[in-house]
Structure 1
Amino acid sequence: MAEADRERWDAKHRALGAGTPLPPDALRGRLDLVPSTGRALDVACGRGGVAVWLAARGLDVVAVDVSPAGLAAGAALADDHDVRVRWVEADLDGGFPDEDGTYDLVVCQRFRDPALYPALAAAVAPGGLLVISVRSEVGDEGGRFRAAPGELAAAFGDLEVLAHHEGDGEAYLLARG
């Protein structure tokens, strides 16, 4: 990622201030799928709202993002809610962070890089849950940051797909490892 992009994300996160602990968008109405123990990975975590929500549910969370300002906001949010999250600064354009092992839950919300799809799938433990949501061309205009129709289903077809939706410019997929 270019330094200008990192600075843009830092400025955005600083302007938005503290986040709010919230479940991943794709899990709303499906919270029974979320484990209450085990390890979770939040990829491109931004200001950490999902990571803190997962930690408050009892998961051991690793949260990854390129923005030091986003990670600092997440750390403050975790402190405010008395939960522990391991925050990792990593430029995902350079590849998936070298984290140890697999996870019972892998979340990637609103970040799309098809080159990382195999690493995301590999990070899901057997029986674990993958939750991925991206902007989509379906029901919206195209663009380099939007998934093509069927992209998520094709990329994660080796997993057991539990739910898949495309429409109104959004796509999400829930799958078991």
Structure 2
Amino acid sequence: MADHTSEKKWNDIYTTQFQIESKLETKAASVLLDYAYLLPSSGLALDLACGLGGNAIYLAQCGLNTHAWDISAIAIERVQAHCQETNISIAADVRDIEQHPPTSNSFDVICVSYYLERTLTQDIIAALRPKGLLFYQTYTNEKVSTVGPSNPQYRLQQNELLALFSPLHVLAYQEHGTVGNVKKGLRDVASLVAQKR
């Protein structure tokens, strides 16, 4: 459950990162970039636990009415500043999504990257409108590098992402783990694109 400790933790992380590097990269997750051709031409999108808003920025550039939520006020301030600098329209809000998840049937697209709170799974599914798309990418326990959280609670087990979102229709799934040449392919993460039918 998120609380003021989580908010402080993430504000501290972003503050430290900004002290080291004044402009942090805001790239969208590879699952969104690789499967962007599946996006609708219009609709309402949500970048959940958006961080610096890379997914939100990309979704807005694709013509979607985009919302970005994160518990960190520092991150949301950066998203808002980027929007002002680039004239991109994103409704970026500080929001404890564990306490205030999205409401049912409210989004055509939801994107989640590098965030895992298993208790929100049903809320995310419910928040999708019929034919709505979920783009999800996060860390796995089976890894080939030290990137990502050290706490296994914040990493997926093998095929867990498929199990968590089993009520949805799978359009694409990748989880290469340690199979074959570990210098190639999608490693350390699992990614899913799924649709609510």
Is the pair's TM-score, using the shorter chain for normalization, greater than 0.5? yes
Aligned partner letter, 1:105: V
TM-score (norm: length of structure 2): 0.80
Unaligned runs of 5+ in 1: none
The 5 A counterparts of 1:155-174 are 155-166=164-175, 167=177, 168-174=187-193
Cα distance, 1:123 vs structure 2 = 1.3
TM-score (norm: length of structure 1): 0.89
The answer as to whether partners of 1:40 and 1:60 remain within 8 angstroms in 2 is yes
Aligned partner letter, 1:56: Q
Distance of 2:98 and 2:81 partners within structure 1 = 26
The answer as to whether partners of 2:142 and 2:158 remain within 8 angstroms in 1 is yes
Of 109, 124, 129 in structure 1, the residue corresponding to residue 128 of structure 2 is: 124
Change (3 A) 1:131 1:43: same
> C-alpha offsets along residues 56-82 of structure 1, whole Å, 9 cap, x if unaligned?
221111111000000000001111221
Percentage of pairs with the same residue: 27
Of 93, 98, 109 in structure 2, the residue corresponding to residue 88 of structure 1 is: 93
> C-alpha offsets along residues 124-174 of structure 1, whole Å, 9 cap, x if unaligned?
111121011111112358711111112111111111101112223211110
Query: SS in structure 2 opposite 1:28?
Result: helix
> C-alpha root-mean-square deviation of aligned residues, in Å?
2.0
The answer as to whether partners of 1:163 and 1:173 remain within 8 angstroms in 2 is yes
Structure with greater Cα Rg? 2
Cα distance, 1:103 vs structure 2 = 1.2
Aligned partner letter, 1:40: A
The answer as to whether partners of 1:20 and 1:77 remain within 8 angstroms in 2 is no
The answer as to whether partners of 1:42 and 1:64 remain within 8 angstroms in 2 is yes
Distance of 2:154 and 2:72 partners within structure 1 = 18
Q: Which residue of 2 aligns with 1:23?
A: 28
The answer as to whether partners of 1:21 and 1:53 remain within 8 angstroms in 2 is no
The answer as to whether partners of 1:19 and 1:74 remain within 8 angstroms in 2 is no
Change (3 A) 1:95 1:85: same
Unaligned runs of 5+ in 2: 145-149, 178-186
Number of residue pairs the alignment of both structures matches:
176
Cα distance, 1:121 vs structure 2 = 0.9
Distance of 2:23 and 2:31 partners within structure 1 = 22
